């Protein structure tokens, strides 16, 4: 039997948000309601709320917000000629923690860009509810004793030793994001601080992302770093047989072609043949999360990609229906590193990055803080990925019938495609990507 590393689908996304100081020369002192950072860990006295009072409408509104941002961001960064992969949920969540300290115009620009329709008092509990809902995916009876499925979301904030932050700000992060404030000395030891944060990221992503923060990304002016990491490890519900994998041709947008390993299976899957595209859903073990692959017709990738937004994706996903599908698709590994400062500014929140006008007074009671950069990195590896599980046998049994079954529809993913990984119950989109060349890495 293959090892777990060989069998698992592994996705990692990390979000780093660096907040600089407009006046790095002095330490603020804003009164008794603040918490002074000393050595070690500073935590709010508040515990994380494990049963947030959030209704279904609020949760649905948050999912709609993160989905809208997911595809707004896709349109903003798709102009490159390379593969693409990122976690819109990770980015939204990290920026939501920062949003907790935003005020006035800065707050409004962030809300508009991120599609945050809920007021601050309801937004953060909604993120908490969604985060707890997603965390339960690894704890359900479907995965008891199973090593082939893991979804872990971790948050942490890192603050300058001796710098004061408002208790209300720390309370929001503690109650809704489970994030305690870890103390570092950015002013005197920026390189040591960078290494410490990178080590945390490395641990939370099981060693899949190392040295996320490059030398120089943390400076003596840094006062706060907010981090989010998502680690997802799952086996397909119905694995591809390794013996069926073969070399095949993948056709590139520029008219060229490459030879790559192509996986193959015939299974009962949710599928749709629409005008100008095919779509298929590949569930993971436990049927709680799934990958949806969107394959535009030959010659129409750019047009299809340009028309893709949250509403169209939701419509495509809702119209998938069970079919027997003969599926061929490439194995691939993709890594992405994004600096989103310019992108987010152009999308509508420039004030957050400008020391003259940024207003994060909800963090420390002053207007000294601004965002220095937003760095996002993601990794995805897709292969035959499976186990000999009962669910795989169950899918094989679905195709049995007394009458002659219709021939399977054909879906050969041998040209550029788009994919998204989402939570089935809530519809929350955790990852979005495209593959222009599966052999590019």
Give the pLDDT confidence of 309-340 residue by residue, as tens digits: 999 999 999 999 999 999 998 988 887 888 88
Expressed as residue numbers, the domain containing 247 is 242-330+387-435
C-alpha to C-alpha distance for 140 and 146, rounded to whole angstroms: 10
CATH code where residue 257 lies: 2.30.39.10
Let me know whether 363 and 418 are in one domain: no
pLDDT digits (tens, 9 = 90+) for 395-441: 111 223 335 556 888 888 888 888 788 988 999 988 888 889 988 86
Q: What's the pLDDT at 2?
A: 37
Let me know whether 296 and 356 are in one domain: no
> Pick from 95, 430, 440, 98: which is nearest to 289 by CA?
430
Q: Is residue 440 included in any domain, yes or no?
A: no
> Pick from 430, 368, 375: which is nearest to 17 by CA?
375
Q: How many domains does the chain have?
A: 2
- Say which residues have a Cβ less than 8 Å from residue 327's Cβ, sequence separation at least 6: 264, 265, 266, 267, 269, 280, 411, 413
List phi, psi (to 5°) of 17. Answer: -125, 120
SS3 content of the chain, % helix, strand, coil (to 5): 30, 35, 35
Let me know whether 201 and 262 are in one domain: no
Let me know whether 117 and 101 are in one domain: yes
Q: What's the pLDDT at 389?
A: 20
Are 149 and 286 contacting, i.e. CB atoms less than 8 angstroms apart?
Answer: yes
Q: Is residue 441 included in any domain, yes or no?
A: no
Let me know whether 79 and 219 are in one domain: yes
The whole-model pTM stands at 0.86
Are 305 and 78 contacting, i.e. CB atoms less than 8 angstroms apart?
Answer: yes
Cα distance between the two ends of the chain: 26
Please say if the pLDDT value at position 391 is more than 70.
Answer: no
Enter the tokens of residue 266.
């015939």
> Pick from 428, 383, 413, 376: which is nearest to 84 by CA?
376
pLDDT digits (tens, 9 = 90+) for 161-207: 888 888 999 999 999 998 888 888 888 998 998 899 888 888 887 77
Let me know whether 189 and 251 are in one domain: no
Q: What's the pLDDT at 370?
A: 87
Q: Is residue 151 included in any domain, yes or no?
A: yes
Please say if the pLDDT value at position 142 is more than 60.
Answer: no
Tell how strand 181-184 and strand 149-160 pair up: parallel
% the chain with pLDDT above 90 = 43
Let me know whether 164 and 178 are in one domain: yes
């Amino acid at each position: 039997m293959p090892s777990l590393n060989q069998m698992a689908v592994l996705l990692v996304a990390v979000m780093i948000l660096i907040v600089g100081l407009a006046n790095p020369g002095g330490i603020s002192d804003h009164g008794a309601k603040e918490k002074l950072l000393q050595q070690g860990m500073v935590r709010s006295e508040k515990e994380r709320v494990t049963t947030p009072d959030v209704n279904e409408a609020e949760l649905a509104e948050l999912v709609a917000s993160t989905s809208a941002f997911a595809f707004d961001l896709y349109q903003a960064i798709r102009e490159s000629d390379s593969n693409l992969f990122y976690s819109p949920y990770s980015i939204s969540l990290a920026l939501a923690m920062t949003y907790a300290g935003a005020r006035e115009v800065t707050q409004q620009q962030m809300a508009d860009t991120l599609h945050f329709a809920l007021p601050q008092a309801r937004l953060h509990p909604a993120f908490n509810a969604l985060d707890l809902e997603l965390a339960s995916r690894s704890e359900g009876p479907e995965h008891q004793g199973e090593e082939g499925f893991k979804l872990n979301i971790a948050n942490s904030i890192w603050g300058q030793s001796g710098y004061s932050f408002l208790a209300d700000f720390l309370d929001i992060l503690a109650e809704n994001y489970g994030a305690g404030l870890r103390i570092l000395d950015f002013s005197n030891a920026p390189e040591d601080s960078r290494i410490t944060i990178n080590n945390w990221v490395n641990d939370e992503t099981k060693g899949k992302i190392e040295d996320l923060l490059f030398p120089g990304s943390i400076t003596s002016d840094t006062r706060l770093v907010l981090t989010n990491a998502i680690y997802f490890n799952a086996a397909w519900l119905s694995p591809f047989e390794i013996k069926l994998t073969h070399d095949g041709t993948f056709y590139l947008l520029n008219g060229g072609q490459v030879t790559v390993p192509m996986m193959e299976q015939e299974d009962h899957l949710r599928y749709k043949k629409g005008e100008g595209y095919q779509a298929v859903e590949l569930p993971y073990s436990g049927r709680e999360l799934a990958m949806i692959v969107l394959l535009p017709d030959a010659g129409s990738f750019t047009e299809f990609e340009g028309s893709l937004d949250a509403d169209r994706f939701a419509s495509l996903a809702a119209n998938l229906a069970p079919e027997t599908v003969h599926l061929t698709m490439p194995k691939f590994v993709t890594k992405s590193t994004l600096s989103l400062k310019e992108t987010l500014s152009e999308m509508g929140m420039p004030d957050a990055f400008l020391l003259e006008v940024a207003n994060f007074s909800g963090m420390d009671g002053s207007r000294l803080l601004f965002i220095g950069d937003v760095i996002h990195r993601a990794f995805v590896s897709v292969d035959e990925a499976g186990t000999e599980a009962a669910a795989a046998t169950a899918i094989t049994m679905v195709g049995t019938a007394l009458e002659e079954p219709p021939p399977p529809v054909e879906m050969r993913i041998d040209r550029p495609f788009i994919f998204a990984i989402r939570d089935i119950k809530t519809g929350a989109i955790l990852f979005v990507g495209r593959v222009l060349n599966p052999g590019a890495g």
